[in-house]
């Protein structure tokens, strides 16, 4: 409980006045009483400082907990996506192996016929014949495949198909981890999450850009949208911190101007 020092001094003064009138207080007793009031005031100030420290520590721990939850959620989803991709590859490999076995059987039947042996002897030595490795038969993933996946995911985002956009950009990040436009994919994935009111997952994507792609053209927007996510999650102090970091790092951007307006609305 926080004491009102001014009110206490008024009561003490009244008590002293009453005591003096009644002849109950000596000067030493008055001095002792004021010393007690000063002690209470000092204790109150220390208590307020302690409360402020605890509040700041609570906010920092809450921010760390929210970030950890977002990263954990993102990691689990990435693992599920990776399992799905690997399962697809296993199915493709099984089909290729089956095709290889059928091709091998055909070769053996041809070699068992005399006519076929004469033809094969004229063309090449049959002992050198080897089946192609399954990896060589896999279709190569080139830049056009990555571009198609990115564009289709972006189209889903613009059309409001947010679930499809989420799945598309996540697949893109799993299949092309060394792509040059990973920051773009993280940002648009965050936008799909944000549009779906999945603010915890959205802020994880924006924070990924802030931590790993600070020079990206999406970095200022990532700070701004992180602040919006924190607002949606009821974390006004974290939102204000994101806005102020944006203003400090990118003061001349349009996002910084909008961040200044948001801080005013927060009463900062």
Number of domains in the chain: 3
How far apart CA 66 and CA 74 sit, in angstroms, is 12
Domain boundary among 134, 165, 180: 134
Do 147 and 130 share a domain, yes or no?
no
Residue-number span of the structural domain to which 205 is assigned: 142-268
Place of tokens 């009031």: 37
Residue 227 structure tokens: 């602040």
Residue 204 counted as domain residue? yes
Whether pLDDT at 12 is above 90: no
d(CA 118, CA 72): 64
Whether the CB-CB separation of 153 and 169 falls below 8 Å is answered with yes
Q: Which of 147, 151, 221, 217 is nearest to 179 (CA)?
A: 147
Crossing angle between the packed helical segments 199-212 and 182-195, to the nearest 10 degrees: 160
* Dihedrals phi, psi of 40, to nearest 5 degrees: -65, -40
Residues 192, 264, single domain; the answer is yes
Asked if residue 158 and residue 130 are part of one domain, the reply reads: no
Which pLDDT score is estimated for 63? Answer: 73
- Higher per-residue pLDDT: 144 or 249: 249
Q: Is the pLDDT of residue 200 over 90?
A: yes
Same domain? For 189 and 224 the reply is yes
| pLDDT of the residue at 43 | 78
How confident is the model over 98-142, as pLDDT tens digits?
Answer: 544 554 554 454 444 444 444 344 333 333 323 333 333 333 345
Q: Does residue 68 lie in a domain region?
A: no
Is residue 221 located within the same domain as residue 195?
yes
Do the Cβ atoms of 202 and 225 come closer than 8 Å? yes
Higher confidence at residue 259 or residue 108?
259
Nearest to 75 by CA among 229, 208, 198, 191: 208
Report the CATH number at residue 192: 1.25.40.10
Q: Of 23, 43, 62, which closes a domain?
A: 62
Same domain, 42 and 77: no
Which of 33, 62, 91 is the last residue in one of the domains?
A: 62
Q: Which residue has the higher pLDDT, 261 or 15?
A: 261
pLDDT digits (tens, 9 = 90+) for 131-180: 333 333 333 345 688 999 999 999 999 999 999 999 999 999 999 999 98
């Amino acid at each position: 409980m926080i004491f009102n020092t001014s009110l206490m001094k008024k009561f003490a003064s009244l008590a002293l006045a009453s005591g003096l009138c009644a002849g109950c207080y000596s000067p030493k007793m008055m001095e002792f009483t004021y010393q007690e009031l000063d002690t209470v005031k000092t204790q109150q100030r220390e208590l307020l400082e302690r409360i402020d420290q605890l509040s700041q520590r609570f906010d920092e721990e809450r921010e760390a907990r929210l970030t950890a939850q977002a990263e954990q959620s993102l990691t689990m989803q990435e693992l599920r996506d990776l399992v799905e991709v690997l399962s697809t590859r296993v199915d493709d490999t099984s089909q290729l192996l089956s095709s290889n076995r059928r091709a091998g059987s055909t070769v053996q039947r041809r070699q068992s016929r005399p006519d076929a042996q004469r033809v094969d002897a004229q063309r090449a030595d049959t002992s050198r014949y080897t089946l192609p490795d399954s990896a060589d038969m896999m279709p190569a993933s080139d830049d056009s495949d990555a571009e198609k996946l990115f564009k289709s995911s972006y189209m889903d985002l613009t059309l409001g198909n947010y679930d499809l956009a989420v799945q598309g950009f996540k697949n893109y990040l799993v299949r092309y981890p060394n792509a040059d436009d990973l920051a773009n994919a993280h940002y648009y994935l965050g936008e799909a999450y944000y549009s779906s009111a999945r603010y915890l997952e959205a802020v994880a994507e924006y924070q990924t850009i802030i931590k790993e792609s600070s020079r990206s053209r999406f970095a200022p927007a990532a700070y701004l949208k992180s602040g919006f996510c924190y607002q949606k999650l009821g974390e006004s102090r974290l939102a204000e911190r994101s806005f102020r970091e944006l203003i400090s790092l990118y003061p001349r951007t349009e996002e910084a101007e909008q961040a200044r307006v948001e801080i005013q609305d927060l009463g900062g």
